[in-house]
Amino acid sequence: MKLDIITIFPDYFAPLDVSLLGKARRNGLIEMNVHDLRLWTHDRHRTVDDTPYGGGPGMVMKPEPWGEALDALTPPAGPPSTGGDQAGGGGLGGVVPRLVVPTPSGRPFTQALAVEYAAEPWLIFACGRYEGIDSRVVEEARVRMRVDEVSLGDFVLAGGEVAVLVMVEAISRLVPGVLGNFDSVTDDSFAPGAMESLLEGPVYTKPPVWRDRAVPDVLLSGNHGAIARWRRDQALRRTVANRPELAARLDPGDLDKHDRQVLADAGFPVDGEHMAH
Ligand code: 6GU
């Protein structure tokens, strides 16, 4: 998989060399390139922003550097090239990249979207700053490639860089070979196809007693059925406490009698057809 990141702050992406991502990069599992948007400016001050039409606070990113950056990274429009893999500046054979634009006005970034992105051969991330990028950039890019404006949640960051780090980490760990242990992906709380979104319960390791606090006996019992049941109880309780809207979406058909008792004890009774609340 190939990832291109366009930003006015390439230094933000130093963490891509660390830990899991650094290893995936060094192993060649993921090719990541960070590009300074100012390379595609031509004035003395390397200007990337200007005042918004219609007035209002802050600044807007100018379209020209973005247009040139995307042109430079992507194959030219038109019939498929016959010139082999290197045709089209930076192109990846006949592959068209998918463009991801982080913005608080975007569609939610979810585990399902991370799974989708992890299956793409080529992603380009366009990090906006200030009040955002001139809208014509996304409009024009859509003519040539799939474009998603994506948000991490209902809060506002100062720019897209940190959001892209978050997305790249979520995506990369889903690329086959990046994580050692494939189960840690399929067990994810929000793994699509898990059908049931339960938060993970608490975890413990040695020593068995720490500062007078013992690890729950059941986890040391060797009784795998009892352990699985206990973990599910904890997951149900934590989901009700921290994410009642997820608990409300549980399919009653997936809940056995014991589940219903645990939910009722947590103040979240199941009414048969639909969840209460
Ligand atoms: Cl993707 N970008 C910015 N700037 N702020 C955000 C965000 C993205 N997601 C939540 N807040």
pLDDT in tens, 78-122: 665 554 444 445 568 899 999 999 999 999 999 999 999 999 999
DSSP one-letter string for 124-137: EEE--BTT-B-THH
pLDDT 10s digits, 135-174: 999 999 999 999 999 999 999 999 999 999 999 999 999 9
Residue 87, both tokens: 């045709």
pLDDT confidence of residue 194: 64
Query: Would you call 273 a catalytic residue per the annotation?
Result: no
Query: Would you call 71 a catalytic residue per the annotation?
Result: no
List Cα–Cα distances, 245 to 107, 152, 177, 250, 270, in angstroms. 19, 18, 34, 9, 14
Nearest atom of ligand 1 to the alpha carbon of 164: 1
Give the SS3 label for residue 267: coil
pLDDT band at residue 195 under the 50/70/90 scheme: low
Catalytic residue, candidates 36, 64, 71, 131: 131
Q: Find the mean pLDDT for residues 11-40.
A: 96
Measure 259 CA to ligand 1 centroid, in angstroms.
Answer: 37
Q: Find the mean pLDDT for residues 212-240.
A: 98
Q: Find the mean pLDDT for residues 19-36.
A: 96
End-to-end alpha carbon distance in the chain: 43
Q: What is the rounded average pLDDT for all residues in the chain?
A: 92
Q: Find the mean pLDDT for residues 207-223.
A: 98
Q: Find the mean pLDDT for residues 124-140.
A: 96
Look up the pTM and report it: 0.91
Rounded to whole angstroms, the Cα distance separating 129 from 241 reads 36
Ligand 1 pocket residues where CB is under 6 Å = 102-104, 150-153, 155-157, 159-160, 163
Query: Would you call 188 a catalytic residue per the annotation?
Result: yes
Measure 35 CA to ligand 1 centroid, in angstroms.
Answer: 20
With 0-12 / 13-18 / 19 or more C-beta atoms within 10 angstroms meaning exposed / middle / buried, residue 38 is middle
pLDDT confidence of residue 104: 97
Query: Would you call 245 a catalytic residue per the annotation?
Result: no
> CB of 102 within 8 A of CB of 29?
no
Measure 210 CA to ligand 1 centroid, in angstroms.
Answer: 40
Where do we find the tokens 């930076």?
Answer: 90
pLDDT confidence of residue 79: 63
